[in-house]
Every structure is written in structure tokens, then in C-alpha cells.
A and B are shown apart, each in its own frame.
Chain A
């Protein structure tokens, strides 16, 4: 039976109310990461901007903020890639096709795919950071003519920890996108590609530093060193965009948990233009 939300008698729409979504498909990406394709129980589409996130609710267990990782040109399917890191994500990753979870969103700022029209684009993803970037990649490829050179640089722990391997092969096979992948360590029988930290791919990426926008997502340390390498290639701080992560309870700027200096990561982020957070980025315990 479908989930029903009773209509409120009080006036305002409450951004704290999850809406039911049914799992259409679960795909195991790695040993601890799963991608879910969801459909609204009432058949609604879910338009969103690349980089935004939802709060996913598991009945009686809790809620977690998860980036949307699907194609913004296909709002009839809602896609989320979830990594098991705690209680809620562990329970979430046990769900099967047909199970229902609650969705609130979309929240947050987005990758500057409109502002970057006309630029070269360099995307640097680390680990599960590829998931919030995938909608931007889809958008760029769907509007390929609007952009100059496109380079995707992806670093993962081992070949077994890579996300979206089919799509990486597909993208690499195209003639209009440069795809470079590296892992921290590998066995020679499973891997013929690069081994080394993702920053080593940056000197080899093809782009014009005067007309480029960089989209970076991954662990904070990885982003910090990536930014250094991009700056060495001549990028200014206002050409670099990062995605930050903080504890979230409400996702609407009321609970105070996601504060990052003066910014609320849920409202002012998670995507930030680097020059706007440069002063606090890398400061300890901010």
C-alpha cells in the first residue's frame, strides 16, 4: 500500500515533512556503496540542480543528507548514491526494490553549469565525491556544445572502490571528454591504469587556465591539495568550486548544525566558490 501524507490544516508548507519515494532499483557500486533509483509514490517529477542534496528518511531510524547523483534532464527518476558510514546509511543500504523511504528536498546551492558556459571545465573527484559531481557531468555532456574542453579527473582508493565504472568507460570512449582515473594502490592483475594520488593528474589535464571553471569534490584534504595544484596551473580562486560537508539535522538553516564560519552549508552551500570560503578553508576545527 502506498504511503499517504495527510493534508495539514495549518497554513504553511512545512519543509520538515518527508514525502514517500519507492525504490525502483538498487545497484551495488562497491563493497560499501549503493546507488538507488527512486520513483515518487504519487508520480511527481523531481527537478533539481546538479550539486543539490536531499534528506533521506528511513522510517523510525533517522535522516541523512545525500547528494542527488542522477541526470537533471531526467527528473522522473531520483537517483542517490549512498555510502555506508553510520547507523542510518547502514540501514538504508539494506533496502530493496519496492521499499519506501522519505525524501525532503532539494536543498542547497548547485554547480555553476550555467555560469561556466563558454569555459573549459575540469572536474576533480575523490572517492565518493564523484557522486555529487555526476549530475554536472551529465549536464555538460547533454549540452556539450556550450562548453570548451572537458576533463574529468577521478581518484579512488582501489579499483574495487570506483564508482560508475561502466559510465567511466563510456565517457572515456567519447572523443570530446578527457577522462583520467587513478587509484591509491592496486594489484597488477586487476589494473592497467594510473596509480598515484589524484593531484598528479592535474598537470596532464587539457584546459586553458584563462577560460576554465574547476569543480572539485572529495575529502577536505584532497580538495585542499587539488586547489593548490589548480592554482599552480594558473587558476584564480573564483574559478574553483568545491562542495563542503557538515552535520545536518534540518537542511533549511534552522538547526544551526551545518554552520561553516558564517555560512550554512545547507543553504549557502554545499557548493561554494572557493574565493568565498578561502579565509576559513583549511582552518582547523571551524
Chain B
């Protein structure tokens, strides 16, 4: 088994995924490294990739006029970054900046979409996993919306 395939099958995100599918998507993946301070993508970029972070920390930021850039979420070891590749209009909504040296597996979205067209069951498996990620992010975001620690008197 190829190193990339091994890395994929070890990652919790692809747990229980049929080894045949692992092989398929490994063909769309490569290892990447981001230096501290480097931007992985900017707001408005086309969503051509998603990443599995192996180690490091990435900050998702939004630029608010008059307030400057605001960090809205950090992602670290083991996190999946990028789900907008699966949802039209396939555009990035935020900036992503590495806070420290970060190693990740980068997936070519076009390649993945192509493989899913060939093997719809693969698409379903990925869909299940990504909807879980989106759900968790939504949940976490809603909690922050409550401004739990704010003064409410």
C-alpha cells in the first residue's frame, strides 16, 4: 500500500472507508506543507481543493470593513478544512492563513468530483462524512452566536 493510502486510511475522517475507495481518492491527493504566515487561500478564490490537516494550525479569517481581519475559527491536527468544494458556487468564503508550520494532505476537488461521478457510492460516503463536519461547524458557530460569556444584564 502506497504511503498516501496509508496516511488516508489512518485518518479518522476516512475511518471505515472501503480500501478500494481509499485508493481512488489517493489518486487525487498529495502532501503539502505551509509555512507560518502563508495564506492557503483567500476569500473569493475558487474552491478547487480541500485539506486534511496532519499537524499545525490554520486560522480562518474574515475582513470586516472598519474592524480589520477577524479570526473566526482555528483548525488544527486532524481537522478537515474546506467543504465549499462540494457546494455551489464553489467559492471560498474566508481567508485561510497558517499560524505555524502546517502539514496537510491536499485533495483536488475536480478530481474527486470526477471519481464520484464514476462511483456514486463513493460520493455518498464522502457526503456522509462532510455533512457531519458541516453540522459540527454549524453547531459550534451557533454556540458562539449566543455570546455565552457576554454580560447580559
Contacts and interface: CB of A to CB of B under 8 A. Distances in A.
Contact, chains A and B (beta carbon distance below 8 A): yes
A221 B148 contact: yes
A161 B148 CA distance: 12
Contact of A195 (B59, B67, B143, B146): B59
Interface stretch (A13-21, A143-151, A182-190, A246-254): A182-190
B71 interface: yes
Contacts of A192: 99
Contacts of A186: 70-71
B74 interface: yes
Contacts of B69: 187-188
B97 A195 contact: no
A259 interface: no
B153 A85 contact: yes
Contacts, number: 75
B140 A196 contact: yes
Which range holds the interface residue count of chain A? 20 to 34
B71 A221 contact: no
B73 interface: yes
Contacts of B89: none
Contact of A187 (B60, B68, B149, B151): B68
Nearest to A159: B71
B143 A156 contact: no
Interface string B32-66: 00000000000000000000000001011100000
B71 A185 contact: yes
Interface string A189-207: 1011111110110001000
Contacts of A195: 59-60, 71-74
A97 to B, nearest CB: 25
Contacts of A187: 67-71
A51 interface: no
A188 B59 contact: yes
A155 B60 CA distance: 18
Nearest to A193: B74
B150 interface: yes
B68 A184 contact: no
Contact of B144 (A84, A184, A204): A184
A126 B148 contact: yes
B147 A188 contact: no
Contacts of B147: 157, 184
A191 B71 CA distance: 9
B61 A194 contact: no
Interface string B120-153: 0000000000000000000010011011111101
Contact of B140 (A83, A161, A199, A219): A199
A187 B147 CA distance: 17
B76 interface: yes
For the complex of A and B, list the 10 residue pairs with the smallest distance between their C-beta atoms, beginning with the closest: A127-B149, A157-B149, A195-B71, A219-B148, A184-B144, A195-B74, A197-B143, A186-B71, A197-B140, A194-B74
29 contacts: A32-B151, A85-B151, A127-B148, A127-B149, A156-B149, A157-B147, A157-B148, A157-B149, A161-B149, A182-B74, A184-B149, A185-B144, A186-B70, A187-B69, A187-B70, A189-B68, A195-B59, A196-B140, A197-B140, A197-B144, A199-B140, A199-B143, A200-B140, A218-B148, A219-B148, A221-B143, A221-B146, A222-B148, A225-B143
Given A186-B70, A197-B144, 6 more contacts: A85-B151, A127-B148, A157-B147, A185-B71, A196-B73, A196-B144
